[in-house]
Amino acid sequence: MIFADAHLHSNPVSGLGIEKIAKRFKSLGGWFMALVSLPPTHYGLQQDRDGYVKAIDITIAECRKARSLGLRVACFAGIHPADLEKLLTRHMADPRKVLELSEYVLREIARRCQEGLLDGIGEIGRPHYTTRPEAFVINELIMNKALTLAKDLNVVVHLHLEQGGIVTVMDINQRVETLRLMKGKIILHHLDYKTAREAVRYGLPFTIPAKYPLLKHAFTHLEPVYMIESDYIDDPKRPGVAAYPWDVIEIQLTLLKEGVVNEEYLYKLNVDNIVTVYGVEPP
Protein backbone atom coordinates (compact mmCIF):
# COMPACT_ATOMS: atom_id res chain seq x y z
CA MET A 1 0.00 0.00 0.00
CA ILE A 2 1.05 3.57 -0.63
CA PHE A 3 0.11 6.74 1.23
CA ALA A 4 -0.13 10.51 0.80
CA ASP A 5 0.10 13.45 3.18
CA ALA A 6 -2.13 16.15 1.73
CA HIS A 7 -0.85 19.06 3.87
CA LEU A 8 2.32 19.42 5.93
CA HIS A 9 5.14 21.85 6.64
CA SER A 10 8.90 21.48 7.05
CA ASN A 11 11.49 23.65 8.76
CA PRO A 12 15.14 23.17 7.74
CA VAL A 13 16.21 26.00 10.07
CA SER A 14 15.07 24.73 13.47
CA GLY A 15 13.16 21.50 12.78
CA LEU A 16 13.84 18.14 11.17
CA GLY A 17 13.77 19.56 7.66
CA ILE A 18 12.32 17.80 4.66
CA GLU A 19 15.20 15.38 4.08
CA LYS A 20 14.63 13.54 7.36
CA ILE A 21 10.85 13.81 7.05
CA ALA A 22 10.74 12.58 3.46
CA LYS A 23 13.10 9.65 4.01
CA ARG A 24 11.07 8.30 6.93
CA PHE A 25 7.74 8.94 5.21
CA LYS A 26 8.88 7.22 2.01
CA SER A 27 10.33 4.24 3.90
CA LEU A 28 6.85 3.52 5.31
CA GLY A 29 5.09 3.69 1.94
CA GLY A 30 4.65 7.41 1.38
CA TRP A 31 4.54 8.51 -2.26
CA PHE A 32 3.09 12.05 -2.24
CA MET A 33 3.05 15.14 -0.06
CA ALA A 34 1.62 18.64 -0.37
CA LEU A 35 4.30 20.81 1.22
CA VAL A 36 3.12 24.20 2.49
CA SER A 37 5.16 27.23 3.55
CA LEU A 38 5.46 28.31 7.17
CA PRO A 39 5.28 31.93 8.36
CA PRO A 40 8.64 33.76 8.13
CA THR A 41 9.02 33.86 11.91
CA HIS A 42 9.27 30.05 11.99
CA TYR A 43 12.50 30.37 10.01
CA GLY A 44 13.84 33.22 12.16
CA LEU A 45 12.82 35.84 9.60
CA GLN A 46 10.94 39.12 9.92
CA GLN A 47 7.32 39.58 8.83
CA ASP A 48 8.26 41.95 6.04
CA ARG A 49 8.64 41.72 2.27
CA ASP A 50 12.13 40.27 2.42
CA GLY A 51 11.15 37.77 5.12
CA TYR A 52 8.19 36.46 3.16
CA VAL A 53 10.16 36.12 -0.07
CA LYS A 54 12.89 34.19 1.75
CA ALA A 55 10.27 31.96 3.41
CA ILE A 56 8.72 31.19 0.02
CA ASP A 57 12.08 30.32 -1.46
CA ILE A 58 12.94 28.09 1.52
CA THR A 59 9.74 26.16 0.82
CA ILE A 60 10.58 25.82 -2.87
CA ALA A 61 14.02 24.46 -1.96
CA GLU A 62 12.44 21.96 0.44
CA CYS A 63 10.02 20.82 -2.28
CA ARG A 64 12.89 20.35 -4.70
CA LYS A 65 14.77 18.26 -2.13
CA ALA A 66 11.72 16.07 -1.41
CA ARG A 67 11.34 15.38 -5.14
CA SER A 68 15.01 14.44 -5.37
CA LEU A 69 14.32 11.78 -2.73
CA GLY A 70 11.69 10.13 -4.93
CA LEU A 71 8.44 11.69 -3.69
CA ARG A 72 5.79 13.37 -5.81
CA VAL A 73 5.31 16.85 -4.33
CA ALA A 74 2.82 19.70 -4.67
CA CYS A 75 4.47 22.92 -3.48
CA PHE A 76 2.46 25.74 -1.84
CA ALA A 77 3.15 29.18 -0.40
CA GLY A 78 0.71 31.55 1.24
CA ILE A 79 0.00 34.01 4.03
CA HIS A 80 -1.32 32.26 7.11
CA PRO A 81 -4.36 34.02 8.63
CA ALA A 82 -2.60 34.14 12.00
CA ASP A 83 0.24 36.13 10.40
CA LEU A 84 -2.02 38.99 9.44
CA GLU A 85 -3.79 38.85 12.79
CA LYS A 86 -0.46 39.13 14.63
CA LEU A 87 0.63 42.11 12.55
CA LEU A 88 -2.59 43.92 13.41
CA THR A 89 -3.12 42.96 17.04
CA ARG A 90 0.39 42.44 18.43
CA HIS A 91 2.42 44.87 16.35
CA MET A 92 -0.41 47.37 15.86
CA ALA A 93 0.42 47.70 12.18
CA ASP A 94 -1.55 50.03 9.94
CA PRO A 95 -4.24 47.94 8.18
CA ARG A 96 -3.39 49.63 4.88
CA LYS A 97 0.26 48.56 5.20
CA VAL A 98 -0.77 45.01 6.10
CA LEU A 99 -2.89 44.87 2.95
CA GLU A 100 -0.03 46.25 0.85
CA LEU A 101 2.36 43.66 2.29
CA SER A 102 -0.12 40.85 1.65
CA GLU A 103 -0.72 41.93 -1.93
CA TYR A 104 3.03 42.09 -2.55
CA VAL A 105 3.46 38.56 -1.18
CA LEU A 106 0.62 37.27 -3.36
CA ARG A 107 2.30 38.79 -6.42
CA GLU A 108 5.55 37.02 -5.54
CA ILE A 109 3.68 33.73 -5.10
CA ALA A 110 1.86 34.22 -8.41
CA ARG A 111 5.13 34.85 -10.24
CA ARG A 112 6.59 31.62 -8.87
CA CYS A 113 3.45 29.74 -9.88
CA GLN A 114 3.86 31.08 -13.41
CA GLU A 115 7.52 30.00 -13.38
CA GLY A 116 6.54 26.48 -12.32
CA LEU A 117 8.28 26.76 -8.94
CA LEU A 118 5.03 26.62 -6.97
CA ASP A 119 1.96 24.49 -7.62
CA GLY A 120 -0.56 26.54 -5.69
CA ILE A 121 -1.44 29.11 -3.03
CA GLY A 122 -1.79 28.20 0.61
CA GLU A 123 -2.53 28.41 3.18
CA ILE A 124 -4.76 31.45 3.26
CA GLY A 125 -8.20 32.04 4.75
CA ARG A 126 -9.63 33.09 8.10
CA PRO A 127 -8.57 32.79 11.76
CA HIS A 128 -10.30 29.99 13.64
CA TYR A 129 -10.26 31.92 16.91
CA THR A 130 -11.66 35.21 18.21
CA THR A 131 -9.80 38.23 16.89
CA ARG A 132 -10.21 41.90 16.02
CA PRO A 133 -12.79 42.56 13.31
CA GLU A 134 -10.12 44.27 11.18
CA ALA A 135 -8.00 41.11 11.19
CA PHE A 136 -10.94 39.03 10.07
CA VAL A 137 -11.85 41.44 7.27
CA ILE A 138 -8.27 41.76 5.98
CA ASN A 139 -8.01 37.98 5.82
CA GLU A 140 -11.28 37.89 3.89
CA LEU A 141 -9.97 40.46 1.41
CA ILE A 142 -6.72 38.56 0.92
CA MET A 143 -8.56 35.25 0.58
CA ASN A 144 -10.70 36.68 -2.23
CA LYS A 145 -7.62 38.09 -3.98
CA ALA A 146 -5.87 34.73 -3.66
CA LEU A 147 -8.89 32.84 -4.99
CA THR A 148 -9.09 35.15 -8.00
CA LEU A 149 -5.36 34.73 -8.61
CA ALA A 150 -5.71 30.97 -8.38
CA LYS A 151 -8.45 31.06 -11.00
CA ASP A 152 -6.27 33.11 -13.36
CA LEU A 153 -3.28 30.82 -12.78
CA ASN A 154 -5.32 27.59 -12.78
CA VAL A 155 -3.74 26.41 -9.53
CA VAL A 156 -4.93 24.75 -6.32
CA VAL A 157 -5.64 26.71 -3.11
CA HIS A 158 -5.43 25.46 0.48
CA LEU A 159 -7.93 27.26 2.72
CA HIS A 160 -7.43 27.60 6.47
CA LEU A 161 -10.87 28.21 7.99
CA GLU A 162 -12.96 28.10 11.13
CA GLN A 163 -14.75 24.81 11.83
CA GLY A 164 -18.19 26.24 11.26
CA GLY A 165 -19.95 23.25 9.77
CA ILE A 166 -22.57 24.16 7.19
CA VAL A 167 -22.02 27.94 7.38
CA THR A 168 -18.31 27.62 6.59
CA VAL A 169 -18.96 25.35 3.64
CA MET A 170 -21.89 27.40 2.33
CA ASP A 171 -19.75 30.53 2.44
CA ILE A 172 -16.89 28.97 0.46
CA ASN A 173 -19.30 27.38 -2.00
CA GLN A 174 -20.90 30.78 -2.59
CA ARG A 175 -17.47 32.33 -3.23
CA VAL A 176 -16.69 29.54 -5.68
CA GLU A 177 -19.90 30.27 -7.56
CA THR A 178 -19.60 34.08 -7.41
CA LEU A 179 -15.96 34.11 -8.52
CA ARG A 180 -16.61 31.27 -11.01
CA LEU A 181 -13.82 29.13 -9.60
CA MET A 182 -13.10 25.50 -10.38
CA LYS A 183 -14.53 23.75 -7.34
CA GLY A 184 -12.05 20.89 -7.62
CA LYS A 185 -9.12 23.22 -6.99
CA ILE A 186 -10.36 24.73 -3.70
CA ILE A 187 -9.26 22.55 -0.78
CA LEU A 188 -10.77 23.04 2.67
CA HIS A 189 -7.88 22.02 4.89
CA HIS A 190 -7.93 20.38 8.36
CA LEU A 191 -11.68 19.88 8.75
CA ASP A 192 -13.51 18.41 11.70
CA TYR A 193 -16.23 15.84 11.05
CA LYS A 194 -19.24 18.20 11.04
CA THR A 195 -17.59 20.51 8.50
CA ALA A 196 -16.30 17.59 6.44
CA ARG A 197 -19.80 16.15 6.21
CA GLU A 198 -21.07 19.42 4.72
CA ALA A 199 -18.12 19.62 2.31
CA VAL A 200 -19.16 16.21 0.97
CA ARG A 201 -22.69 17.50 0.41
CA TYR A 202 -21.41 20.52 -1.53
CA GLY A 203 -18.77 18.62 -3.48
CA LEU A 204 -15.80 20.61 -2.16
CA PRO A 205 -12.43 18.84 -1.80
CA PHE A 206 -11.10 18.70 1.75
CA THR A 207 -8.56 17.15 4.07
CA ILE A 208 -8.96 15.80 7.57
CA PRO A 209 -6.13 15.47 10.10
CA ALA A 210 -4.57 12.13 11.00
CA LYS A 211 -6.16 11.56 14.39
CA TYR A 212 -7.30 8.04 15.27
CA PRO A 213 -10.83 8.89 16.55
CA LEU A 214 -11.53 11.25 13.64
CA LEU A 215 -10.28 8.85 10.97
CA LYS A 216 -12.19 5.95 12.49
CA HIS A 217 -15.39 7.99 12.40
CA ALA A 218 -14.72 9.29 8.89
CA PHE A 219 -13.93 5.83 7.52
CA THR A 220 -17.28 4.53 8.71
CA HIS A 221 -19.45 7.57 7.91
CA LEU A 222 -18.02 9.38 4.88
CA GLU A 223 -17.64 8.44 1.24
CA PRO A 224 -13.96 8.21 0.19
CA VAL A 225 -13.93 11.62 -1.48
CA TYR A 226 -11.39 13.39 0.75
CA MET A 227 -7.69 13.29 1.62
CA ILE A 228 -5.72 12.88 4.84
CA GLU A 229 -3.12 15.30 6.20
CA SER A 230 -0.70 15.46 9.09
CA ASP A 231 -0.51 19.28 9.19
CA TYR A 232 2.91 18.68 10.75
CA ILE A 233 4.59 22.02 11.58
CA ASP A 234 8.12 20.67 12.23
CA ASP A 235 8.62 22.73 15.37
CA PRO A 236 10.82 21.09 18.06
CA LYS A 237 9.10 23.26 20.69
CA ARG A 238 5.75 21.69 19.73
CA PRO A 239 6.60 18.11 18.74
CA GLY A 240 3.93 16.20 16.87
CA VAL A 241 1.66 19.20 16.25
CA ALA A 242 -0.75 18.48 14.67
CA ALA A 243 0.52 14.99 13.81
CA TYR A 244 3.64 13.41 12.35
CA PRO A 245 3.56 12.50 8.64
CA TRP A 246 4.18 8.87 9.57
CA ASP A 247 1.08 9.01 11.78
CA VAL A 248 -0.89 9.41 8.55
CA ILE A 249 0.34 5.97 7.53
CA GLU A 250 0.39 4.19 10.87
CA ILE A 251 -3.14 5.15 11.89
CA GLN A 252 -4.56 4.02 8.55
CA LEU A 253 -2.75 0.69 8.81
CA THR A 254 -4.05 0.24 12.35
CA LEU A 255 -7.63 0.86 11.27
CA LEU A 256 -7.13 -1.48 8.31
CA LYS A 257 -5.95 -4.26 10.64
CA GLU A 258 -8.90 -3.61 12.94
CA GLY A 259 -11.28 -4.13 10.02
CA VAL A 260 -12.65 -0.59 10.18
CA VAL A 261 -11.66 0.15 6.57
CA ASN A 262 -10.62 -1.77 3.47
CA GLU A 263 -7.76 -1.30 1.01
CA GLU A 264 -10.01 -0.05 -1.79
CA TYR A 265 -11.28 2.83 0.38
CA LEU A 266 -7.73 3.77 1.40
CA TYR A 267 -6.50 3.64 -2.20
CA LYS A 268 -9.12 6.19 -3.19
CA LEU A 269 -7.99 8.54 -0.40
CA ASN A 270 -4.27 8.12 -0.95
CA VAL A 271 -4.03 7.79 -4.73
CA ASP A 272 -7.19 8.46 -6.75
CA ASN A 273 -8.15 11.68 -4.97
CA ILE A 274 -4.57 12.96 -4.92
CA VAL A 275 -4.20 12.39 -8.67
CA THR A 276 -7.55 14.09 -9.35
CA VAL A 277 -6.97 17.18 -7.20
CA TYR A 278 -3.26 17.77 -7.73
CA GLY A 279 -2.92 16.49 -11.28
CA VAL A 280 0.16 14.42 -10.46
CA GLU A 281 1.10 11.19 -12.18
CA PRO A 282 0.02 8.10 -10.21
CA PRO A 283 2.83 5.93 -8.84
Q: What is the 3-state secondary structure (H, E, C) of 183-223?
A: HHHEEEECCCHHHHHHHHHHCCCEEEECCHHHHHHHHHHCC
The pLDDT assigned to 88 comes to: 84
Q: Which helix (H) or strand (E) holds 84?
A: helix 81-89
Q: Which domains does the chain have, with CATH numbers?
A: 3-278 (3.20.20.140)
Strands (E) across 117-194 are located at 120-125, 156-160, 186-189
Residue 200 CA to residue 254 CA, distance in Å, equals: 25
Question: Which segment of 57-61, 93-97, 233-237, 269-273 scores lowest on mean pLDDT?
Answer: 93-97
**185, 156 in Cβ contact below 8 A?**
yes
Question: What tens digit of pLDDT does each residue of 152-196 get?
Answer: 999 999 999 999 999 999 999 999 999 999 999 999 999 999 999
Task: State mean pLDDT over 221-245.
Answer: 93
When the pLDDT of each residue in the chain is averaged and rounded to a whole number, the result is 95
Quote the DSSP letter at residue 80: -
